[in-house]
Chains A and B, each alone.
Chain A
Amino acid sequence: MPHSRINNDLLRPLFQTSWRFYLLVGIFGSIVLAALIAWLSQAYFGFGVTGIAWPIYWGFYVTNFVFWIGISHAGTLISAILRLVDAGWRRPVTRCAEVITVFALMIGALFPIIHLGRPWLAFWLFPYPSERLIWPNFRSPLVWDFFAINTYLTGSVLFLVLPMIPDFAVVRDKATGLRKKIYGILALGWRGTPKQWHRLESAMSIMAVAIVPVAVSVHTIVSFDFSMAPVPMWQTTIFGPYFVAGAIFSGIAGLLIAMALLRRFLHLQEYLLPIHFQNLGKLLLVMALLWGYFVFNERLVTYYGNEPSEMAVFWRTQRESFAPLYWTMIIGNFVLPVVLMGIKYFRTITGCVIASIGVIVGMWLERFLIIVPSLGHKYLPYSFGTYRPQPVEIIIAIATFAAMTLLYVLFAKFVPIISIWELKTGPSERTGLPHHLGHVGPVVTDRPRP
């Protein structure tokens, strides 16, 4: 595929806007606005407008927090890990994935502020020499959250933005007027000399190596928000790996849905090929099996231990009041992906999307089922309780999905959603040749004498 064709296809969303774009922005923007108003009403009228009550002090907000931080692991897996193992098929997919990471992180990172009783004091988590002569408690998992999420967010934003620079240069070259000026500034004077390319690729390699342990640590630390408390079925050492696996799992599902939508609405059928969906579908299958393994581990060990307070929570999810949600989770997270992704006939783009939607629902329910049943049934029977989410929490939960879609739509409007230079560099899945050579004969890599 010649350069000009790639440029045109991938830059079209930037230069052409249809009424559908404005409609999408309008709809999702309104939902996000509604959520903002809901949260402001919570800050104004008092936290009591939520469904939180003694003894269940964490509900939808923390569920959303863990869920969205989990989704953010999509980009790390695709961009960083696949880059490190040099999997060529990742090239059209990296930016889609990294965008999910950055926006999911931003959304997730809002929740520690949304769920605070006094959110105007959230800045106390930042270590600064205050006049109160006190620093944050570095031994607290919530402070670890603060450091981990900020490090991951910084790393992910940079990991996303650095490879955008050469693409901004392409847009700068193709655009006119004000657009040319803005993208000219964003391109930071990129010219494409071997020195610049080499520095960029080195920096990306370092970032890839650095971001993987950070991603693992982030969701492990989020799991520490639970495992550091002596609550039945929370204080278990399996939470660290369990949460990381669940995060990557939900991330891949989110990525599959995003890719399917982009392929359809931005006409990227020649770039996001069925092979990409099949490969990611296989990864989804692996993660589903891994998730099932962790759940089996957690539940078998609890069952064998037969400790009364733990077993009470165990049966609560499996047989009693939370059973419908629990079994929906099992179907969405395990049965559906294993069947649809395991059988080659079903591993189509549609199959991938259906399995992914099941996983998204299942993973959200999993976070909810970790938090609420345990908190409602700790040790002393007198203090058992139930949780009923209120409109504020429901609107904000729905709005997170709207916000993600809105941010994604806006991003795809201003930045090429497939990394143009990375696509051109790698081999085409169809021809096996570097993209820029297209169908012109075999590759000649004549290494001249130095």
Chain B
Amino acid sequence: MKAIYGLYGDGMSAQQAVNRLRAAGVADREIVVMSSQPMEDYEFGHMDSRTRIWWIACLGGLIGMATALGLAWLTEVSWPINVGGLPTFAWWPNLIIIFELTMLGAILATVVTLAVTAGLGRGSSFYDPAVSDGKILVGVANPPEASVHELESALAAIHGAQIKMI
């Protein structure tokens, strides 16, 4: 079986479903939740929320800064050209290039990290279009044969659940 899941109409039911799955012995990283908007008000909306993306963005910024500094310094010093009596490597004008490439580095690092950690572009294991209509999906992917019945009863215990198996 590819997956077993229930569709719930609101966040509270979904939270109860997640709790029941946990009670049934399913580990947090096995529980799949899908929603059409971020459910920050509920605990399940904070699953898997530890991220290093801020640090990576800063790192990207540093790489950008180093690139700009290297580019400006190496090119200006290797081929020194006198313009308007300015020094060969003038800090004030070069700071602008350094700033821009720093920000570009941070931005690109953020986007690449997002793409990689959110699994964008990778094929998904399963999905139900009802999510777009506001339903919240709570389920387990590739459940072991033995526990399917137990999971089904856990998910169905919540009022208003729609259980599906694929």
Contact = CB atoms under 8 A, between A and B. Distances in A.
B19 A448 contact: yes
A196 B129 contact: no
Contacts of B76: 135, 138
B46 A137 contact: no
Interface residues of A, number: 65
A221 B39 CA distance: 41
A202 B36 CA distance: 17
A188 B124 CA distance: 9
Contacts of A202: 51, 53-54, 114
A197 B42 CA distance: 13
Nearest to B72: A138
Contacts, number: 188
A199 B114 contact: yes
A161 B134 CA distance: 22
A138 B93 contact: yes
Contacts of B36: 3, 166, 170, 192, 420-421, 424
A445 B48 CA distance: 20
A117 interface: no
Nearest to A190: B120
A203 B113 contact: yes
Measured as residues with beta carbon below 8 angstroms from the partner, the interface class of chain B is 35 or more
Contacts of B54: 202, 206
A198 B127 contact: no
The 7 closest A-B pairs by CB, nearest first: A3-B134, A173-B129, A197-B38, A195-B48, A173-B132, A135-B75, A188-B120
25 contacts: A3-B132, A4-B133, A133-B79, A138-B72, A138-B76, A139-B83, A147-B101, A150-B104, A155-B104, A166-B37, A173-B129, A174-B132, A189-B124, A191-B127, A192-B131, A194-B35, A194-B38, A195-B47, A198-B46, A199-B114, A202-B53, A202-B114, A425-B37, A446-B15, A448-B15
Interface of A: 2-4, 7, 127, 133-135, 137-139, 143-144, 147-148, 150-151, 154-155, 158, 162, 165-166, 169-170, 173-174, 188-203, 206-207, 210-211, 213-214, 217, 221, 420-422, 424-425, 436-437, 443-448, 450
Interface of B: 10, 12, 15-16, 19, 32-39, 41-49, 51, 53-54, 57, 71-72, 75-76, 79, 81, 83, 86, 90, 93-94, 96-97, 99-101, 103-104, 106-108, 110-111, 113-115, 117-124, 127, 129, 131-134
